[in-house]
Amino acid sequence: MTDSRGRPLYLAEQVREIDRRTIAAGVEGFALMQQAAMAAYDAMRKTWPTLRRISVCCGSGNNAGDGYVLAALAACDGLSVQVIALRDPQELDGDAGQAVAMARRAGLKFQPWQPNMRISGELIVDALLGTGLSGAVREPFSAAIDAINAAQLPVLAVDIPSGLSADSGAVLGRAVKADLTVTFIADKLGLHTGSASAYVGTHRLEALGVEASRQADIEPCAMLLDEMLIPRCLPPRARDAHKGDNGHLLVIGGAPGFGGAALLASETAARLGAGKVSLATAPAHVTASLVRCPEVMVHGINSKGELEALIEGADVLMVGPGIGKGAWGQAMLQAALASDKPLVVDADGLNLLTTHWPLEYRDNWILTPHPGEAARLLESSAGEVQQDRRQAITELRRRRGGAIVLKGAGTLVADQEGIAVCPFGNPGMASGGMGDALSGMLGALLAQGLSLDEAARVGVLLHALAADRAVAAAGERGLLASDLASYARFLSNPGLSNPILNNPGTSDAYNPEE
């Protein structure tokens, strides 16, 4: 179920509690297990309709039970089924024990896991560990996961790829790389952020008739952003609108020798509809800005005093791209922080906050760190941030206020509404300038009157979706941050008919960059 904010996401323990309450309300646990296995089996058959042989790897607990039931269903459907047991099936009890008995009644034999054993199926079903894993994967499961990944066969993960944290999306030592993951009852945060995109494959939620939202005391830990938020926040403009209605954004960046980032942010902001965009940059970059985008009003700035006059005339400030860590950048950021105007801070602006304004807290700014910048703000490491992105962004917002955008695969947004996750984006975005383009979008949206929370969420959506459309047109390799502006422009005008947006797989679709 999706509400106006997107699809609710939960932590593993929350889903287990919903499961417990469902059973306590009268739904038999084994019946729920059978529904889960049937849903996973149906998804498998639809995805790989010509399968004749499968290998089902079962561990312990209810995840293994799902695997044994699925194996029984496959056998009854005429498939050849190899069941590989990582734990002695005789030791399984409760619902999982009933699942083992069902598999035996279907005529299946169980092969104990052995290193270097032959996996005979055309597809592997991963039912090893489930969502209960908290520490690092241990033997024999680690060896089995390695064997699954080395088999170069398609993989169906039951509920979650084994070894992936259901709460953080971190890999707990090693994890199964699935082609399809079918998760049950309620969606899990860890399937959408951190390392999830490299391990989950195609994602399906099967609620099994359970409505998690009815548990009013179990609040989702996050929301999965829905692209329908864009038209809700960006309705058509009034027919008599003028540029003053759409705000004045001042971009501050581009220390001597580092002008490109600020130029990119400014042009992207202009494409996203800010009524006026000004750029305060080192004098050496003025000519390049005028040539690149004459619509941006560029000012060569040498001192804090010169910048203060420009700040007075702006509605929103965006500071950081190419600002550097030297005296010029420090003076620019100091002037911006002295204002009470809405503010977006990125790049070296974040690093300067760490070193010179470690206690600065504001309710009207958006901070946009990548994991390395977040680690510096938190006095930790990028690895620690990635191990628990939700905890990291929660702590960042507690310390700094406003809205926080933690970039990376499965970008997170933390604001007064809670935490949101962006399900869009692609590896082509791993190139220079992407963060500058995002900051320009965020500043433009704030200038047009979106609230802090709306700007952060819509900006992240537009940025990722624009990259996906650009990749659909020309591929991931070679994607540039400057490619995003025109795609984002189309996306920010909902209802506009454009072939590349409506059918991104069309090879001869119109390219708005041409």
Is 280 known to sit in a ligand binding site? no
Of the candidates 183, 184, 161, the residue with the CA atom closest to the CA atom of residue 173:
161
Is 368 known to sit in a ligand binding site? no
In whole angstroms, what is the distance from residue 156 CA to residue 144 CA? 15
Cα 473–chain centre separation? 22
Is 435 known to sit in a ligand binding site? yes
State how far the alpha carbon of 39 is from the alpha carbons of 32, 131, 181, 192, 205, in Å.
11, 18, 11, 21, 10
Size of the chain, expressed as the number of residues it contains: 514
For residues 199 and 178, the answer to whether their CB atoms sit within 8 Å is: yes
State how far the alpha carbon of 219 is from the alpha carbons of 86, 162, 215, 289, in Å.
35, 26, 8, 48
In whole angstroms, what is the distance from residue 414 CA to residue 487 CA? 25
Residue 450 identity: L
Interacting residues of 145 by C-beta distance below 8 A, sequence separation 6+: 128, 137, 162, 163, 174, 175, 176
In whole angstroms, what is the distance from residue 251 CA to residue 265 CA? 7
In whole angstroms, what is the distance from residue 447 CA to residue 451 CA? 10
- Strand ordering across the sheet containing 80-85: 110-112, 80-85, 53-58, 123-127, 155-158, 180-184, 202-206
State how far the alpha carbon of 282 is from the alpha carbons of 15, 337, 433, in Å.
53, 19, 19
Interacting residues of 132 by C-beta distance below 8 A, sequence separation 6+: 12, 16, 61, 63
With both helix axes pointing from N to C terminus, report the angle between 12-24 and 29-47 in degrees, rounded to the nearest 10.
120
Is 131 known to sit in a ligand binding site? yes
Round to the nearest angstrom and report the end-to-end CA distance of the chain: 40
Of the candidates 254, 256, 258, the residue with the CA atom closest to the CA atom of residue 278:
254
3-state secondary structure of 9: strand
Interacting residues of 465 by C-beta distance below 8 A, sequence separation 6+: 227, 424, 487, 488, 491
Is 305 known to sit in a ligand binding site? no
Is 466 known to sit in a ligand binding site? no
Is 3 known to sit in a ligand binding site? no
Is 507 known to sit in a ligand binding site? no
State how far the alpha carbon of 293 is from the alpha carbons of 178, 196, 269, 436, in Å.
45, 38, 11, 16
Name beta bridge partners: 384: none
Is 62 known to sit in a ligand binding site? no
In whole angstroms, what is the distance from residue 477 CA to residue 171 CA? 26
Is 187 known to sit in a ligand binding site? no
Residue 496 identity: L
Is 133 known to sit in a ligand binding site? yes
For residues 405 and 419, the answer to whether their CB atoms sit within 8 Å is: no
Is 162 known to sit in a ligand binding site? yes
Is 315 known to sit in a ligand binding site? no
Residue 113 identity: W
Q: Which residue has the tokens 């202009």?
A: 270
Indicate if the alpha-carbon torsion angle 260, 261, 265, 266 is positive or negative. negative
Which residues does the annotation place in the binding site?
63, 126, 130-136, 159, 162, 261, 322, 370, 407-411, 435-436
Binding site feature residues for (6S)-NADPHX: 130-136, 159, 261, 322, 370, 436
Residues marked as binding for K(+)? 63, 126, 162
Q: Which residues are annotated as a binding site for AMP?
A: 407-411, 435
